[in-house]
Structure 1
């Protein structure tokens, strides 16, 4: 069937005289109605403006959360795997506090740097970080990750075993202006000890 035949259906038919008369009557009713001003008025601007502001806030928050997740990725891949002090200083705020330490151990930035470079990487120098999940909520990022490394130095009073191990970690990081300011973490140390002693 050609295009002319398709255009002859009722949805494409030209309006007849009766249809035009009905349209004219409808216009006259609207023009004489006491609701004329309300019918012809545009939607109130504040409603639309509020919706636009909310949308912009949502987009801004989403952008911040993605940026924070990128910082966490960078910390793990570019610092933990290398021990680079310049990267650590760029990512970790001078006001940083690690809430995962035990007892009276220091919680500041320098103590955290020493743990990663002087203790952890000294025992597992070839560490690789596998980030399985990152979740962001406001200024906080939750990471589920694993360390994979070879035990070539003493760790927790256990001499080097040469074994390849995996350590499961869950951590929570609060960021401000793109920098770590607070940190909580739990690692499967029992699983690590089992791997080292088996």
Structure 2
């Protein structure tokens, strides 16, 4: 279970504390077990700071706490604080990563059998799509739907997510596309051929999680080869 520790402190010497934290990170390189760390400053109280440190488990957090460098740096940190810092230990019981969820949902919607469902639950109206196989970018919800319908008209397909990484407002998804060629695609008549393709898509999301922009990379040349559209 993911574990999070909140470190709440007040200090008028944050620049010194920041340098101290840099020293600790350098000294514990290769030994520190935290997976993510964020420090926030209270907008209403300029000397109030909260650090949020994430670990894969409570046990990993304890390994981090037991490092000799951690104890030494902690004593120096306390000396920089206006008052004794407080610690709150939390087991994470729910973790909603909205951007990743919406990116995954988009792939599910594109793969839906029958009529293409509305996409506005996950895609912004001003969506901007970048595909190196298109001479021009696809801009706007309607244009993106037409692009999706072109693929759906040529293939009955499913898209499965192999990996997803989220950082800031970006989500990177590595996917596998498996399809049956049951309609005309770029002038190639339906062949009934079973085909597969892999690719990666980076999505940029806005604050509410809706997707604003997408960059696609996929093996279209390999797909055309499977369809017998390439001359030797």
TM-score (norm 1): 0.65
| Bigger proportion of residues as strand | 2
Query: Which among 127, 138, 149 is matched to residue 96 of structure 1?
Result: 127
Question: After superposition, what is the alpha-carbon deviation per residue over 1:70-90, rounded to whole angstroms, capped at 9, x for unaligned?
Answer: 11111111343345332x121
Question: After superposition, what is the alpha-carbon deviation per residue over 1:4-54, rounded to whole angstroms, capped at 9, x for unaligned?
Answer: xxxxxxxxxxxxxxxxxxxxxxxxxxxxxxxxxxxxxxxx94159969723
Root-mean-square deviation (Å):
3.0
- The aligned residue for residue 148 of structure 2 is 116
TM-score (norm 2): 0.56
Query: Which among 204, 214, 217 is matched to residue 183 of structure 1?
Result: 214
Question: After superposition, what is the alpha-carbon deviation per residue over 1:80-139, rounded to whole angstroms, capped at 9, x for unaligned?
Answer: 3345332x121110121112263345422211111112x100111x21111101011101
Is 1:195 paired with 2:226? yes
Is 1:160 paired with 2:195? no
Query: Which among 117, 135, 149 is matched to residue 85 of structure 1?
Result: 117
Q: Does the aligned pair in 1 maintain the 2:10–2:49 contact within 8 Å?
A: no
1:160, distance to aligned residue in structure 2 (A):
0.8
Q: Does the aligned pair in 1 maintain the 2:178–2:195 contact within 8 Å?
A: yes
For structure 1, the 5+ residue unaligned runs are 1-43
CA distance in 2, matches of 1:67, 1:105: 26
1:57, distance to aligned residue in structure 2 (A):
10
Is 1:129 paired with 2:159? yes
Q: Secondary structure at the match of 1:153?
A: coil
For structure 2, the 5+ residue unaligned runs are 1-7, 12-38, 42-47, 56-89
Residues 193 and 49 of structure 1: CA distance in aligned 2, closer, same or farther (over 3 Å): closer
Tell me the number of residue pairs that the alignment of Structure 1 and Structure 2 aligns: 148
CA distance in 2, matches of 1:91, 1:149: 24
Larger Rg: 1
| Bigger proportion of residues as helix | 1
Residues 145 and 71 of structure 1: CA distance in aligned 2, closer, same or farther (over 3 Å): same
Question: After superposition, what is the alpha-carbon deviation per residue over 1:144-175, rounded to whole angstroms, capped at 9, x for unaligned?
Answer: 10110100111121111100100111111001
